[in-house]
Amino acid sequence: MKPKIRPRDPRFSSGPCTKRPFWSLDNLKDASLGRSHRSAEGKAKLGEVIDRSRAVLGIPDAWRIGIVPASDTGAFEMAMWSLLGARGVDAFAWESFGQGWVTDLEKQLRIKDLRKFLADYGEVPDFSEADPGRDIVFTWNGTTSGARVPDGEWIADDRGGLTLCDATSAVFAMELPWEKLDVVTWSWQKVMGGEAAHGMLVLGPRAVERLQGYTPPWPLPKIFRMTSGGKLIEGIFRGETINTPSLLCVEDALDGLRWAEEIGGLPALIARSEANLGAIAGWVARTDWVDFLVGDPRARSCTSVCLKIVAPWFAALDEAARAAAPKRMVKLLEDEGAAYDVDGYRDAPPGLRIWAGATVETSDLEALFPWLDWAADTVAAEQVS
């Protein structure tokens, strides 16, 4: 039976993620449109994003926060290209984005002393292998597999190397141990439901020390350069961006941060996301055709929740039909306006991926579950007919 009630907001994409509840374009009417980002007003807006991000996330005062070009990718590449090569690198990867950083370490930066700790979709590598004397590159939440780092205990407080953490689908939904993270990056369009194309780059004191005392052997394009004459360009971390940002996106980022403050800050954002994961876990527990892609509950993401189909009808399909089945479900759900963008990532095993970050309402997930059951039943029936 087709369910009667649809989610109020059927947007469950893993990025750009749905806007906060009751978001409206009217909230952006104070944007500094048509003004220079280097005007006092423009710089104040950019500085406000930095200050509010610091306050909501509890980022220590000694950690610098910058707004940089090209989204999370821009921020993370900028960090890798500026900082790495001084020491051996330990890279941990367990899904597409982490693997992308490993490819860059190997093929672009050509780090000679590179150790790779890899795990398949649904697993995480053994983080205890990390050598604190080396630089460590990893992703906090693997968006395409739904597996996250369970905790930061494996990162030594007295490490000699730097930790570079791509935290784009973790930040604002998970607790991050800032003192253990020398570089953290994210983008606005994930947990806060902001607009894309701007990256956030957080640098701890030891990363700044590396920047000022080390020159990588490769050329750095202008949009990656954070030093001038061997000194950190401090302005970048006060809102003097390297190139032109969108002040409309900036206003939207501020709207998201103000909303976060209103609902109770980081604890409330984390609670919303964990409650969403809890709701999905409840449904998975009472539903026999579906299971989490990630076996270990401690490693299950509370933002990008990846699910696999475990019904006998699905197991009996050949590889091509197994790849097609979730796509058919996704099409049925989109045609009904019940859920958008819940297909698994293109490189991940066939399945569904549901964004459960802080902007998603638990009531929308509860309304979604009967639709997922309906779509699975419909596709199962199509296999036998």
Chain contacts with ligand PLP (rule: CB under 6 A): 15, 71-73, 97, 139, 143, 166, 168-169, 187
Q: CB-wise, 73 or 227, nearer to ligand PLP?
A: 73
Give the shortest CB-15-to-ligand PLP separation in angstroms: 4
Shortest distance, CB of residue 50 to ligand PLP, whole angstroms?
A: 18
Q: Which residues make Cβ contacts (< 8 Å) with residue 284, sequence separation at least 6?
A: 290, 291, 292, 307
Query: Of the two residues 138 and 283, which places its CB atom closer to ligand PLP in the complex?
Result: 138
Tokens of 41: 């007003």
68 vs 288: CA distance, rounded Å: 45
Q: Nearest approach, Cβ of 303 to ligand PLP (angstroms)?
A: 9
Q: How far is the CB of 232 from ligand PLP (least distance, A)?
A: 23
Side chain identity at residue 374, one-letter code: W
Other beta carbons within 10 Å of 123: 18
Nearer to ligand PLP by Cβ, of 299 and 375: the residue is 299
Q: Which is nearer to ligand PLP, 32 or 71 (CB)?
A: 71
Cβ proximity to ligand PLP: between 143 and 273 the closer is: 143
Taking the C-alpha atoms of residue 308 and residue 290, their distance in angstroms, rounded to an integer, is 6
Judged by beta carbon, residue 101 or residue 292, the one nearer ligand PLP is 101
Q: Shortest gap between Cβ of 72 and ligand PLP (angstroms)? A: 3
Helical spans, DSSP H, in 144-263? 205-213, 247-263
Instruction: Name the residue nearer to ligand PLP (CB basis): 73 or 378.
Output: 73
Closest approach, Cβ 148 to ligand PLP, in A, equals 10
Q: Which two tokens stand for residue 285?
A: 């527990």
CB-count exposure of residue 130 (10 Å: 0-12, 13-18, 19+): buried
Distance CA 85, CA 110 (A): 9
Nearest-approach distance from CB 218 to ligand PLP, in angstroms: 21
Residue 325: Cβ within 10 Å count: 23
Residue 63: CA atoms inside 13 Å, Cβ hemisphere, count? 24
Rank residues 202 and 338 by Cβ distance to ligand PLP and give the closer one.
202
Return d(Cα 287, Cα 303) in angstroms, integer. 20
Q: Are 37 and 238 in contact (CB under 8 A)?
A: no
Residue 139 Cβ vs ligand PLP, minimum distance, rounded to whole Å? 5
Q: Which of 65, 24, 12 is nearest to 259 (CA)?
A: 24
Alpha carbons 161 and 138: distance in angstroms, whole number: 13
